[in-house]
Structure 1
């Protein structure tokens, strides 16, 4: 069997924006992923393709695939998303589960048709043998594959990974979409089909965008049904005296369970990163010990968590290698993991026992001094924003508001990301800024004042709240009798990982044009695929804030 050294690298991964040299990580992932993890993840995706081969036969026969199989596929896709799981044992366990599931489906289907290599593959027993086989599952293993086919297959796969993150959040709240569940299987099987043309894969890529919208809609339904529609709420971004737990990631249910279990114990709960929008939901902000938000975006966590006298709970992605100064105080749950950190499991009834992290946070004692409060405003989901729709429309017609800028997306550590801070601060005073996802941390603590009697900066929420942005844009376009592309609206999108890929595909599937993307374009887009996106959707790479603002305003109506 070939090994990675035969291919000229120890690993190959280019799924995130910070991939080495803008081409691919081949020795060690910029995210901290080792070649061992990278190769096990490649093999796990290979196994999902094999599972989907048999599951597709079940769907085509008019039957349903068991939801436990769908949930496994979803969790494995999520596990391989950037900055989620770096635990070797977790991957070996999932791989063994994948072979059991594949065998069970094979026994159900009993097909005599052609079987794809991933469907026919038999996983060996030992990790060493798994790693020996892993190169055949690698992105670049087939040197004869058309670069455009490879590019589109990977784009679809990364879109699925982003969708799986949102799907996992919704499923934790007992919400799911049958269409999306089936699409995992259909798309994973399709990207092994050597008969599909570039044109057919382009259509499947845009279909992935459709499914991204559908799962974001389902997650929005779950969050708003259970916790209420977000409403404007001031959040303290400075610390309070006393014991504390910082909750990072995206999962509202984990936060709710922790809030319930810490009520009355004198423990302050702080959100971190993408958990900031939690403060807008009535079902969460009602807890008085939800004290505020700590720190900034995910990429600053190592410095900000350093030597903290409290505990951290990671609920979803954006985990970085924990430093020894806090490794004994950081906990993970769901599919998140790193070798050597404590893990909180879900019980059969769906609940979790947070007693260990609670006990440790009390023992650590927390902050000894209290900072003077500093507040920022969150909670402008689609219902809150659209409650001002009449005012917004009148403000545009009366020229009080000249333009809307949506500035947001996944943040990262590249110096070039200062572009987004500079852009926001250069936006003229008669323009309104909408923001979402952790990209907002580049500027969300600045004072932008008001325009037309409303805050100039409206925080729409998490990355999945692109759905809210779509609803807001659609409502405005209806009011002005135009489509979204005819609005005085520009989208300035930062991307890092695969949820941003799903969000971008969602916007493209709606036909939205002139999106500014940065700091770089995805390495997995081949020149021809990139040219297709430029020609069809006028997708643009960011340049410099001054020129891009002028171009955007030149297109305003």
Structure 2
């Protein structure tokens, strides 16, 4: 086993015995083999584009297969066995279509001709031969860039899958996924070509996030500023975690009138700002914080729990019967709801005690996506011009358990009172419930949304740059980012594609980035690791 795709990888180098995330060696091997098999699909799909062949079923499968290998998504080896088998069937069906259209389907030995073993043990053995370190002759910098592209594509595939679920697709997204995956097999490409492909991944991800934004806002309306209670209401309860808005809507519909209150957890918090979700009277509040605290928080939750996308951890025995997975999420022994009929979770919620009394708590504000912020743009611009607002800080990204993440809490606490903090993704749970006050009625802490709502943050920055007739890098705006998994990787690539410089990244830099590749990023974008909160603020503000 060797895996170093997440920020918390063992010793900052790589997990070799068991994943810090809880991934077992056999699952790691099966994930490697699934990526290998999906690269075979990509090779065939690239040939297909030359003769106008594209298969929607293959496109959907490829994104789902790739998404399932993200950190903290699927830990069930049996599901990967099925996915690998399906990958080969899709590849062969696509080959036939390409050949029928006059394209080439002749490939040398490799992913496009790979034949899977007949059982799980055999697949694991095959996976061990195609992992990250399978070919020791590959130049470390080339390997680093290839993995950067693969991890970027993992994040891109996740956003593309979220968007497709809401009816938003674009052929250019799938075309790049195939181009990028196939390119990681091309020994004729050098570092410059791979850097270009990595930045292109960021460019295409902007399209994917735009599609997802259109899906979210087109279906559920533009988020509006909304106060969300952090306490609890007496009654039966279901907790929804992950990222998927449609799953949440389905659960709200299926629980309507049953006396069950629905709560969000983790990155589902921003859902309270969407008009078509907040209209449900039993959609009550938010429970808990970020994904890494779920073992303690889920054990204390007196109802059923549904995991909709990534971020699952090994369930404790105390609540294993109360937790359910759906979509691409999986854990061995946990009930999986494949058909979106959440009756098992609803019945479990009814059987559990729920909250026996009202639990008072704070409220937090959500719903400051681009529509809401740009609605008060004149006030914001005027506040900057008259120096009431000195600087904006985008402090967001993934949260995690690794020491050093208290930096983000301290940073926000020390941000001067004439500065505004924008935040998104689960990194905000380090400070989301702090009262920072306001500047002329503009809250100093603005929750833009989920990690994919980086699209909103970018649109806000572009609109401000246009208003001040300057480039984004000339704005009084600094990005202080935390990362954990592959969605964060692709968002970073999007920011780099846009030419955004001086990003501070932490709590540590990616283990898969070699010193030479890091040097390229530093020279071109002045990307840097976080330091101390006080030191970084002084360097930024002077």
Shorter chain as normaliser: what TM range? over 0.9
Q: What per-residue deviation string (whole Å, max 9, x for no partner) do you get for residues 496-523 of structure 1? A: 0000001100100000000000000000
CA distance in 1 between counterparts of 2:518 and 2:21 reads 25
Larger mean Cα displacement after TM superposition, 513-522 or 93-102? 93-102
CA distance in 1 between counterparts of 2:125 and 2:403 reads 38
**1:114, distance to aligned residue in structure 2 (A):** 4.7
Larger mean Cα displacement after TM superposition, 509-518 or 369-378? 369-378
Q: Which of 56, 60, 65 is the aligned partner of 1:67?
A: 56
Whether the 8 Å contact between 1:401 and 1:451 is mirrored in structure 2 is yes
Aligned to 2:205: 212
CA distance in 2 between counterparts of 1:287 and 1:281 reads 11
CA distance in 2 between counterparts of 1:458 and 1:171 reads 28
**1:108, distance to aligned residue in structure 2 (A):** 3.5
SS at match of 2:510: coil
**1:388, distance to aligned residue in structure 2 (A):** 1.1
Aligned to 1:395: 383
- 2:38 corresponds to 1:45: no
Question: Equivalences for 1:138-537 in 2 at 5 Å?
Answer: 138-346=131-339, 352-537=340-525
- 2:507 corresponds to 1:552: no
Larger mean Cα displacement after TM superposition, 278-287 or 188-197? 188-197
CA distance in 1 between counterparts of 2:524 and 2:275 reads 42
Q: What per-residue deviation string (whole Å, max 9, x for no partner) do you get for residues 385-438 of structure 1? A: 011111111101101000000001000001200000000000000000000000
Whether the 8 Å contact between 1:241 and 1:368 is mirrored in structure 2 is yes
Larger mean Cα displacement after TM superposition, 106-115 or 260-269? 106-115
Q: What per-residue deviation string (whole Å, max 9, x for no partner) do you get for residues 505-556 of structure 1? A: 01000000000000000001111110000000000100000010111113xx
Whether the 8 Å contact between 2:394 and 2:421 is mirrored in structure 1 is yes
CA distance in 2 between counterparts of 1:509 and 1:541 reads 19
- 2:71 corresponds to 1:82: yes
**1:264, distance to aligned residue in structure 2 (A):** 1.2
5+ long unaligned stretches in structure 1:
1-10, 347-351
Q: Which of 12, 19, 26 is the aligned partner of 1:22?
A: 12
Q: Which of 23, 48, 66 is the aligned partner of 1:33?
A: 23
SS at match of 2:404: helix
**1:27, distance to aligned residue in structure 2 (A):** 0.3
**1:211, distance to aligned residue in structure 2 (A):** 1.0
CA distance in 2 between counterparts of 1:403 and 1:192 reads 45
- 2:124 corresponds to 1:136: no
CA distance in 2 between counterparts of 1:432 and 1:116 reads 55
CA distance in 2 between counterparts of 1:44 and 1:397 reads 53
Whether the 8 Å contact between 1:279 and 1:378 is mirrored in structure 2 is yes
Whether the 8 Å contact between 1:53 and 1:116 is mirrored in structure 2 is no
Whether the 8 Å contact between 2:397 and 2:482 is mirrored in structure 1 is yes
CA distance in 1 between counterparts of 2:477 and 2:37 reads 43
Aligned length: 538
CA distance in 2 between counterparts of 1:118 and 1:358 reads 43
**1:125, distance to aligned residue in structure 2 (A):** 1.1
**1:103, distance to aligned residue in structure 2 (A):** 2.1
**1:115, distance to aligned residue in structure 2 (A):** 2.4
CA distance in 1 between counterparts of 2:409 and 2:225 reads 23
Runs of 4+ in structure 1 over 6 Å off: none
SS at match of 2:480: strand
**1:129, distance to aligned residue in structure 2 (A):** 1.2
SS at match of 1:231: coil
Whether the 8 Å contact between 2:107 and 2:113 is mirrored in structure 1 is no
Cα 1:197–1:310, aligned 2, differ >3 Å: closer, same or farther?
same
After superposition, the CA RMSD in angstroms is 1.0
CA distance in 1 between counterparts of 2:42 and 2:473 reads 37
Q: What per-residue deviation string (whole Å, max 9, x for no partner) do you get for residues 250-274 of structure 1? A: 0000000110111111101000000
Cα 1:383–1:307, aligned 2, differ >3 Å: closer, same or farther?
closer
**1:452, distance to aligned residue in structure 2 (A):** 2.4
- 2:511 corresponds to 1:542: no
Output the TM-score relative to the length of structure 1.
0.95
CA distance in 1 between counterparts of 2:259 and 2:17 reads 46
Larger mean Cα displacement after TM superposition, 430-439 or 132-141? 132-141
CA distance in 1 between counterparts of 2:367 and 2:219 reads 16
Cα 1:345–1:112, aligned 2, differ >3 Å: closer, same or farther?
closer
5+ long unaligned stretches in structure 2:
none
Q: What per-residue deviation string (whole Å, max 9, x for no partner) do you get for residues 474-508 of structure 1? A: 01001111100000000000000000001100100
Cα 1:20–1:232, aligned 2, differ >3 Å: closer, same or farther?
same
Whether the 8 Å contact between 1:50 and 1:116 is mirrored in structure 2 is no
CA distance in 2 between counterparts of 1:338 and 1:477 reads 45
